[in-house]
Amino acid sequence: MRKISTKKITDVVSRLVLKANFSLRKDVLSSLKRAALSEKSPLGKSILKILIENARIAEKEGLAICQYTGIAVVFCEIGQKVHVGGDIDKAINEGIRLGYKKGCLRKSVVSDPIIRKNTGTNTPSIIHYSFNKSDKLRLTVLPKGFGCENASKVFMLKPTATEEEIIESVVGAVKEQGADACPPLILGIGIGGTLDKAATLSKEATLLPVNKTNPKKHLKRLESLILKRVNETGIGPAGLGGKTTCLGVNILSFPTHIAGLPVVVNINCHALRSAESLI
Ligand code: SF4
């Protein structure tokens, strides 16, 4: 059994909070650069250039890419040969608290969804645990902006839903609120399972490289059709028009029940931030 201390987990999470908030993911940055070259709208092109420059300054100066530093979503993948001596939840949340404090990052979490008093620490975070057979522990921190989280949608489609109906549902969600979600967007889509499984998959899909395509042919086709149709909406960078409404679409799928077809689209803004570490 390999021992990992809770202090180590706290330290790593705290560092990941800073990295995710200050350094835009390389795949997102590359996609923005490619889009800036191909965007035809002069206004859209200039917005994309501003976003690229903003990311450069944030990394250089140690400043938040966006002042809205989100709610921290943490993925913790634990090897079965790892023993953590203590409370992992507590250790992760302490890392989130320290990271947001050190980075002077905005704290946006309220303790009760109805009473709405700010906890002042950006905790608790949303933690997803999974397990593998290794002697390692992988931590991924995803600060999720809520402008785009609010634009995300669940569709419990009929099992007979066609490819077109799936596309229409996702494109409809973008048309409805995509302009408010700080485009260009990145879409994580979960298909199958139950409502909650599809939602988790949609969030996990946002951790995949923006330009990665699904290994299954029919899902790769769906990703590409959705990307094309979303970009045809003309919403454009910052919602001010152009062909770059979306930088990438990633789908994750899971077996489901004969009676249903859950589809969840997790909409992400251009400031798609995440950082991971393997301990
Ligand atoms: S949706 Fe993203 S870019 Fe827009 S304000 Fe929120 S974190 Fe910032």
Domain extents in the chain? 2-20+65-144, 147-272
What is the predicted pLDDT for the residue at 41? 97
Backbone φ and ψ for 216, nearest 5 degrees, come out as: -85, 130
* Start-to-end C-alpha separation, the chain: 14
Q: How many CB atoms lie within 10 A of CB 17?
A: 29
Q: Is 209 in the pocket of ligand 1 (CB under 6 A)?
A: no
How high is the pLDDT of residue 275? 98
Among 199, 206, 218, smallest CA distance to 246 is for 206
Whole-angstrom Cα Rg for the chain: 19
Name the phi and psi angles at 124, rounded to 5: -75, 155
Predicted pLDDT at 85? 86
Whether a cis peptide bond, with omega within 30° of 0, leads into 124 is yes
The secondary structure element, H or E, covering residue 22 is: helix 6-22
Low-confidence ranges of the chain (pLDDT < 50): none
- Number of alpha carbons in the 13 Å side-chain half-sphere of residue 180: 10
Strand partners, 252: 190
- Diameter over CA atoms, the chain: 58
Taking CA atoms only, the protein residue closest to ligand 1 atom 4 is: 182
Position 272 scores a pLDDT of: 96
Rounded to 10 degrees, the C-alpha dihedral 234/274/121/75 comes to 120
Q: Are 262 and 256 in contact (CB under 8 A)?
A: yes
Residue 24 near residue 271 (C-beta atoms within 8 A): yes
Out of 32, 48, 66, 206, give the residue to mutate to test ligand 1, the one with the largest number of ligand atoms within 8 Å of its CB: 66
pLDDT in tens, 171-196: 999 999 989 999 999 999 999 999 99
Specify whether the CB–CB gap between 153 and 138 falls below 8 A.
no
The model's pLDDT over 217-273, given as tens digits with 9 standing for 90+, comes to 999 999 999 999 999 999 999 999 999 999 999 999 999 999 999 999 999 999 999
Separation of CA 198 and ligand 1 centre (Å)? 23
CA of 49 to the centre of ligand 1 (A): 17
Atom of ligand 1 lying closest to residue 182 CA? 4
For ligand 1, whether the C-beta of 237 sits within 6 Å is: no
**Cα of 64 from ligand 1 centre, angstroms:** 11
Distance CA 274, CA 209 (A): 11
Which helix (H) or strand (E) segment holds residue 35: the answer is helix 26-38
- Is the distance from the beta carbon of residue 184 to the nearest atom of ligand 1 less than 6 Å? no
